Amino acid sequence: MIHTIDLHFLGTPQSIAAFAVADDAGYTLVECGPYSTHERMLSGLNAAGIDPGKVHTLLLSHIHFDHAGAAWWWAERGTKVYVHPRGLRHMIDPARLYQSARQIYGDRMEELWGEMRGIEPDRIEAVEDRARLRIGGREWIAHHTPGHASHHIAWQLEKTVFTGDVGGCRIAGGPAIPPCPPPDIDAELWHESIERLREIDATTFYLTHYGRVTDTEDHLDDLESRLDEYVAWMMPYAQRETPAAEIVSKFEAFVREDLLDNGVSKDELPAYAAANPAYMSVTGLLRYLSRE
C-alpha cells in the first residue's frame, strides 16, 4: 500500500508530497520534504497509522531542499538513505549546498526550508543507474533521469514510478509543468529522461508535486510540450542577455495565463506557485540557454 503524505508546504495543501510504502520490514519512504514541514510529515504518518520508527529506508529523488531537506533527521534515527552519486557528498556535508541556497533565498531560508544537517556516511549510500535494491521484500529500480537536476533519480516499483521532479508538477489533475530552477536545468537531457520514463511503460506515477497520476502517456506528452514552450518563450530574452529581474513578472503572467487557460482554478494557483515558483524557472532557463 502507498500512502501519500501531504506536507502542506507554506500552509498550502497539495504542493509537496512524501510517500510511505508498506513492505515486509515496515515502510520505505520516498522523499521526506524540507525540515520546515517535518511536523506535518510526522502528523501525516500518524494519521495514516504509521509509526515513524517503522520507516527503515528513505529513497530521495534528488537533493533539492523540498525533497531532501529533512533526510538528516531520518538518518539520525537509523533510517538508511539512498541518493544519486552526484548528491552523496552534499548530503554528508551540506554546507556548500546550504550556502548556495542562501544566496537565492536570503532571510527566508528558515521559513522555507528549516534546518539541514549532514548525514553520517554509514547511513547513506549512492545508487548507480538501473541499480536494483531489494528492500523489505520489494524490488526498487533506480533510473538516473537528469534534466531537472543532474543528481536526479526516478524510483520504479513494478509498474509504478515515483518521478520526483523529472515528471513535472501537476496539481489536482491540471496541466503538467516543468520546474526549472537553477543551477543545472538541461532541456535536452530532460527529453531523454522523459523517454526513459516512457520506456518503463508505467501505469502509475507518483509526483512529489503532487500525487497520483494514471494517464501516464498523456501526462508525459503534456510535460514535454510545455518544456519546449518554456524554452521557446525564454529564448529571445536569453539572446538579448536580458537581466532576470526584468523578465520575472512577464514569465509569471505567462505561466498564470497558461494554467488558467488549461482549467486551473484561481484557488489552485497557490499550490502550483508553492511547488514551482515561476521566478526560479526564469533563472534556471536563462542559465541553461546561456550555455547553449
Total structural domains within the chain:
1
Specify the pTM.
Answer: 0.96
- The answer to whether position 127 is within a domain reads yes
- The answer to whether position 223 is within a domain reads yes
**Whether 277 contacts 255, CB under 8 Å:** no
Residue 38 sits in a domain whose CATH number is 3.60.15.10
- The answer to whether position 200 is within a domain reads yes
Question: Cα separation of 131 and 86, whole Å?
Answer: 15
Residue owning grid cell 494557483: 269
Mean pLDDT split into 10-residue runs, the chain, 292 residues: 96 96 98 97 98 98 96 98 97 90 82 93 98 98 98 98 98 96 94 98 97 98 98 96 93 96 94 91 94 71
- The answer to whether position 284 is within a domain reads no
Domain residue limits at 167: 2-231
Model pLDDT, residue 292 = 59
- The answer to whether position 278 is within a domain reads no
Q: What HEC string does 237-255 produce?
A: HHHCCCCHHHCHHHHHHHH
- The answer to whether position 192 is within a domain reads yes
Question: Cα separation of 67 and 158, whole Å?
Answer: 22
Nearest residue to 155 via CA among 168, 172, 167, 170: 167
- The answer to whether position 255 is within a domain reads no
Model pLDDT, residue 101 = 83
